[in-house]
Structure 1
């Protein structure tokens, strides 16, 4: 995945580092090209060979934002296995799943490797409005006026980059052992992928709020984990 430089996103990312009395917010928005060439093609071929799935479609988990399965979202696993043995919320092609995993690897390199991430750790979000409401609710509740002054600029920049109404939106919801935001003191976090198939582009929006009593630097990557001398008993 190739990172696409954006001065608008850089300015927004600076503004998304917010400290309040109750929390510290660390947000980041990045744009990635899905056009595969050279090494990326080799990685995809290896990924297909290693996954070895009998079908191109992989099962996703229900979106957490819907607190379960939304009406109309479920189908039956007959669409994958031929046996109607239970509800299945959504599916994703192996190529799209590869894009999401490759985006995570690029965004959190070199501190995390998501190559073994499975489809059930991802969800397809029910709607753009649902995702915007979730983001706005988290950031409004935590950052208040500081976010409200940024909100219009943030969503306009994302829309200009990716054409939001043309996107499929996915989220990454791993277990705590796999979550880069799973450290002590994390109040909430989200990882959203806005995927525009026509543009062959993904905008990745990752954000977390942490309790300020935990001594964490304001960066991503290795700063997620506290140094030994900073650990709280």
Structure 2
């Protein structure tokens, strides 16, 4: 996988880098990756392929099992590309425990749009006050369509299941992680956005300060 730079994303990333809304802060980041293997991708891809095949061989053959879906080579490649994208987004984190059921198909842009409209309404209002050339969602649609052609995309969301997952930040009120995958272009775009409580973050900072401060005096004779 290779990180791809696209100027249509720059404006959106700059706006969502640290959008302070008083008691809450909205953060968002959109990135594009080529599915072409680089570096250790081939070895990791082969390892993931073997893990998926082992999983398929040991899974029950019923309607709740993803065996049928991942029985095709193209579907397994899709899952591998998504996991490889995670590795490139957070190179210092081990995603070997990620399972297929952590990725959910949203099927269409409309599924994504409903979530975006529900959770990013305040961010959209801030955007509208500062920009007159279209809504935040419209700009996001244009940028995504230019880079990855939304009409040909499959849309997935990723659900972290561990508190140690880098997608889960301290003070997070909610977070979403979407992946737009175009098989023809062999390209993946990730878009993650979250809402953090400033009150929790400030309390954590203060608690961390006092905890560190107390540790200094633990070694002193008073």
TM-score in same-fold range (> 0.5): yes
TM-score relative to the length of structure 1: 0.73
Of 84, 87, 97, the residue aligned with 2:64 is: 87
Please name the residue that 2:35 is paired with. Answer: 34
Please name the residue that 1:180 is paired with. Answer: 166
Alpha-carbon contact 1:16-1:26 (below 8 Å) kept? yes
Which structure has greater helix proportion? Answer: 2
Secondary structure of 2:110's partner? helix
- Matched pairs, number: 198
Q: Aligned runs of 1:96-111 on 2, under 5 Å?
A: 96-110=78-92
Of 111, 114, 119, the residue aligned with 2:95 is: 114
TM-score relative to the length of structure 2: 0.77
Q: CA deviation at 1:135?
A: 1.4
1:209 paired to 2:190: no
Seen in structure 2, the aligned counterparts of structure 1 residues 37 and 185 have a Cα distance that, compared at 3 Å, is: closer
Alpha-carbon contact 1:124-1:171 (below 8 Å) kept? yes
- The whole-number CA distance in structure 1 between the counterparts of 2:124 and 2:148 is 26
Alpha-carbon contact 1:105-1:115 (below 8 Å) kept? no
Q: CA RMSD in A?
A: 2.9
Of 96, 107, 125, the residue aligned with 1:145 is: 125
- The whole-number CA distance in structure 1 between the counterparts of 2:5 and 2:199 is 34
Alpha-carbon contact 2:124-2:137 (below 8 Å) kept? no
Seen in structure 2, the aligned counterparts of structure 1 residues 5 and 53 have a Cα distance that, compared at 3 Å, is: same
1:200 paired to 2:186: yes
Please name the residue that 2:208 is paired with. Answer: 229
Unaligned runs of 5+ in 1: 59-79, 217-224
Unaligned runs of 5+ in 2: 129-134, 212-222
